Amino acid sequence: MPSVSSDQIKKIVHRFITNAPPGELLEVVSDVRVLLNNDKVFNTIAPLSFAEYNKNQYIIIDSPSGNKVLITPYGEIRSGEYLDPVGNCVITFNHIKQEATGSRPIGNELPSEAEPYRKAFEAEALKYTEAHYQHGAQTTYSKVKGSKYIITTCISSAIINQKNFWGGRWRSTWTFTFNPGSGSCEMEGLFKIQVHYYEEGNVQLNTDTKKSKSVPVAEPNELAAAVFRAVENIETDFQSALEESYHTMGSTTFKALRRNLPITQSKIDWDKIIQYKTGQAILH
């Protein structure tokens, strides 16, 4: 059997950690450490792996400013520093402990010329998230590229029920690109859903879907209201289609995996079997 190199082992460990299901990171890490049996190697892998996991999962944390904020690649200023636009600060984040350890005021990390639009989008995103994601949070960012404004809203919502062996997370990323004052606002949404059910088994659902739409550019508040009406319609349609596929899967796909009747094409007569077993017991 060919040996596994040190680099291959590190890649395997990294992949295990970064693909941990929602709410099960510590359990996966505990198992990986036992299998690896080398804390020196593990400690060289952990910082990068934890950081990638936290950012990819859009984990929700408590900001020193008192509100909920997402840890995402879009808000990363530098290693360990992330934007909290609602709290008007940049937080220092410990990826291993998954908690904020400090903060400083936002400087020039958000372009001032885009702030009227970003704040309008943020206000609508907050209302939308509160209305539709009971356990969710949002963070809205902005940048300017040439004459284009790019507003990005990230939404994350997780429900973890380890007592009943299941958990899941919704992540959506909405990118709005437009030239203020004219033309259309191009919307692109990316939805990621990860669900894990592991009572006496191991079933996972992973989706990765893109949707797009255009709306006319308007003043900040009007445009923000319009794009989040569109977001609501698109996400509602997507979730309805997902529920319909679940129904179809339960009534057809999974049933097709099991034989309705034995090979004889006749139902089992359980009464005869009981009588037969009883007779055999009396005879013996």
Quick one: average pLDDT of 62-89? 96
Looking at residue 12, its pLDDT comes to: 93
Show the 3-state SS of 151-207: EEEEEEEEEEEHHHCEEEEEEEEEEEEEECCEEEEEEEEEEEEEEEECCCCCEEEEE
Domain containing 192: what range? 112-256
| CATH number of the domain within which 140 lies | 3.90.1150.210
Tens-digit pLDDT profile for residues 33-66: 999 999 999 999 999 999 999 999 999 999 999 9
Quick one: average pLDDT of 254-270? 57
Q: What is the DSSP string of 66-97?
A: SSEEE--GGGEEETTEEEETTTTEEEEEETTT
In a domain, residue 273? The reply is no
In a domain, residue 261? The reply is no
Please name every residue paired with 212 in a beta bridge, in sequence order, or none if there are none.
Answer: 188
Q: Do 140 and 162 sit in the same domain of this protein?
A: yes
Q: Do 151 and 44 sit in the same domain of this protein?
A: no
Q: Would you call 140 exposed, middle or buried from its count of C-beta atoms within 10 A (0-12, 13-18, 19+)? A: buried
Tens-digit pLDDT profile for residues 98-155: 999 999 999 999 999 999 999 999 999 999 999 999 999 999 999 999 999 999 999 9
Q: What is the number of structural domains in the chain?
A: 3
Q: Do 172 and 228 sit in the same domain of this protein?
A: yes
Looking at residue 253, its pLDDT comes to: 56
In a domain, residue 262? The reply is no
Q: Which two tokens stand for residue 26?
A: 């510590």
The reported pTM is 0.85
Q: Do 244 and 126 sit in the same domain of this protein?
A: yes
> Of 57, 82, 98, which closes a domain?
57
Q: Which two tokens stand for residue 12?
A: 């395997």
Local structure of residue 4 (DSSP, 8 states)? P
What percentage of residues in the chain have a pLDDT greater than 90?
A: 74
2 or 196, which is more confident? Answer: 196
Q: Do 76 and 27 sit in the same domain of this protein?
A: no
Quick one: average pLDDT of 209-231? 97
| CATH number of the domain within which 71 lies | 3.30.1140.60
Looking at residue 262, its pLDDT comes to: 57
Contacts of 72-76 with C-beta under 8 Å, sequence gap 24+, read 72/139, 72/154, 74/139, 74/141, 74/152, 74/154, 74/173, 75/139, 75/141, 75/154
In a domain, residue 266? The reply is no
Q: 239: pLDDT confidence band, cut at 50, 70 and 90?
A: confident
In a domain, residue 267? The reply is no
Q: Is the pLDDT of residue 269 over 70?
A: no
Looking at residue 182, its pLDDT comes to: 86
Amino acid occupying residue 99? E
* Lowest-pLDDT range of 10-19, 69-78, 246-255: 246-255
